[in-house]
Amino acid sequence: HEDYCPFTKNPGAKWSAPDLDKAKQLVEDSGTKGQKVTIIVEDTAISRSIGVYLQSVLTSIGYVADVKPISSNIQFTYIQNTNNKVQMSVTQWYKDYPAASDFLNILFSCASFREGSDASINIAGFCDKEIDAKMQ
């Protein structure tokens, strides 16, 4: 075995738990403490429970979080449309075939982002031409 990965070669201190005090301080320093955050989830028991957990985490670090369950029939198209101004959502992506391109190219390429469209699979709205060229 030869160490080569820059992320695991010198991993740093052993992680033991989230640093809640540091998270609260970062929120405070960012000037976003008290800001309202809406979490969009599918209206299913599992998605709602994940949303409630995320709500508790966000609340514990200083945000005013709310969970908005919407029908599974429209949730995925709803979160794709930038006109809906989704801040955070719980969703999933299943690979069609075992390749990084099934995630990176589809979910983060400029070609996959269509502002104001229900068919914008690049939900993050991330578009960087330099990074796009490296993904090709």
Digit-by-digit pLDDT tens for the chain (136 residues) are 566 777 677 777 777 889 999 999 999 999 999 999 999 999 999 999 999 999 999 999 999 999 999 999 999 999 999 999 999 999 988 878 788 778 888 889 999 999 999 999 999 999 999 999 988 7
User: Do residues 26 and 72 share a domain?
Assistant: yes
Q: Is 39 helix (H, G, I), strand (E, B) or coil?
A: strand
- The whole-angstrom separation of Cα 105 and Cα 87 is 22
44 CB burial (10 A radius; 0-12, 13-18, 19+): middle
Tally of domains within the chain: 2
Name beta bridge partners: 39: 67, 88
User: Do residues 99 and 80 share a domain?
Assistant: no
User: Do residues 98 and 67 share a domain?
Assistant: no
For the whole prediction, is pTM greater than 0.85? no
Q: Is 68 helix (H, G, I), strand (E, B) or coil?
A: strand
Question: In the numeric block, which tokens belong to residue 115?
Answer: 């502002």
Angle ∠(47,50,124) on CA atoms, nearest 5:
80
User: Do residues 16 and 83 share a domain?
Assistant: yes
Does residue 4 sit within a domain? Answer: no
Kindly list the distances between the CA atom of residue 119 and the CA atoms of 5, 92, 107, 115, 133, in Å, as whole numbers in the listed order.
36, 16, 12, 9, 22
CATH number at residue 33: 3.10.105.10
